[in-house]
Amino acid sequence: MASEIKVDTISEKTSAGGVTIDGLLIKDGGISGDVSLIGTTPTFTIGDAGAEDASLVFDGNAQDYYVGLDDSSDSLVLGLGSALGTTPAITINSSQVATFAQAPVFPDGSIAVADLDIDGATDVGAAIVDADLFIMDDGAGGTNRKVTASRIKTYAGTSLANDSNNRVVTADGSGGLNGEANCTFDGSDFGVTGNIIGSSHVQGGTATDAAIFRFTGDTDCGMGRAGEADSIAFYWGGETRIRLLDNKGLSIQEASPETTGIGALTINQGANDAKIISLKSSDVAHGITSVAQTDTYGVVQKFVGSEGGINILGLSDGGMGMTLSSLIAGTASSTKATGQTGMLQLVCKLADGTGTQSAASDANMVVIMNDSLVRFIFDAEGSFHADVESTTYDTYDDAQLVRAFDLSHGKGTIDSKFDKFISYNHEKLAELKLVGREEDGTPNHFVNVTGMQKLHNGAIWQQYEKHERLLEAVYDLAKEAVGEDKANAILDKHEVKRLQ
Percent of the chain with pLDDT over 90: 41
Distance CA 116, CA 134 (A): 14
Question: For position 3, what pLDDT does the model report?
Answer: 47
Highest mean pLDDT among 282-291, 414-423, 443-452: 282-291
The 10s digit of each residue's pLDDT in 199-222 is 655 666 555 555 566 665 666 777
Strands 211-215 and 143-148: unpaired
DSSP secondary structure letter of residue 428: H
Q: Which of 237-246, 438-447, 473-482 has the lowest mean pLDDT?
A: 237-246
Among the listed residues 73, 78, 79, the one whose alpha carbon sits nearest the alpha carbon of residue 93 = 73
Distance CA 236, CA 211 (A): 9
DSSP secondary structure letter of residue 23: T
Where in the chain are the domains?
12-100, 209-268, 272-316, 398-493
Question: For position 1, what pLDDT does the model report?
Answer: 43
Highest mean pLDDT among 45-49, 110-114, 463-467: 463-467
pLDDT at residue 126 greater than cutoff 80: yes
Cα–chain center distance at 15: 114
Percent of the chain with pLDDT over 70: 90
SS3 461: helix
Q: Is the dihedral of CA 59, 64, 70, 74 positive or negative?
A: negative
182 phi/psi in degrees, rounded to 5: -95, 10
Looking at per-residue pLDDT, the higher value among 209 and 112 belongs to 112
Distance CA 227, CA 103 (A): 62
Distance between the two ends of the chain, CA-based, in angstroms? 197
Distance CA 445, CA 436 (A): 7
Question: For position 413, what pLDDT does the model report?
Answer: 85
Distance CA 333, CA 101 (A): 111
Distance CA 497, CA 412 (A): 37
Check if the beta carbon of residue 488 is closer than 8 Å to that of residue 474.
no
Burial class (CB in 10 A: 0-12, 13-18, 19+), 216: exposed
Question: For position 244, what pLDDT does the model report?
Answer: 86
Question: For position 203, what pLDDT does the model report?
Answer: 62
Check if the beta carbon of residue 445 is closer than 8 Å to that of residue 409.
yes
Check if the beta carbon of residue 234 is closer than 8 Å to that of residue 241.
yes
Helices (H), 349-448: 398-409, 426-431
pLDDT at residue 474 greater than cutoff 80: yes
Distance CA 131, CA 152 (A): 11
Distance CA 233, CA 242 (A): 6
Q: Is the dihedral of CA 15, 18, 24, 30 positive or negative?
A: positive
In degrees, rounded to 5, the angle at the alpha carbon of residue 341 between the alpha carbons of residues 335 and 342 is: 90
Question: pTM above the 0.85 mark?
Answer: no
The 10s digit of each residue's pLDDT in 59-94 is 999 999 999 999 988 999 999 999 998 899 999 999
* Helix, strand, coil percentages in the chain from 3-state DSSP, rounded to 5: 15, 30, 55
Distance CA 477, CA 486 (A): 12
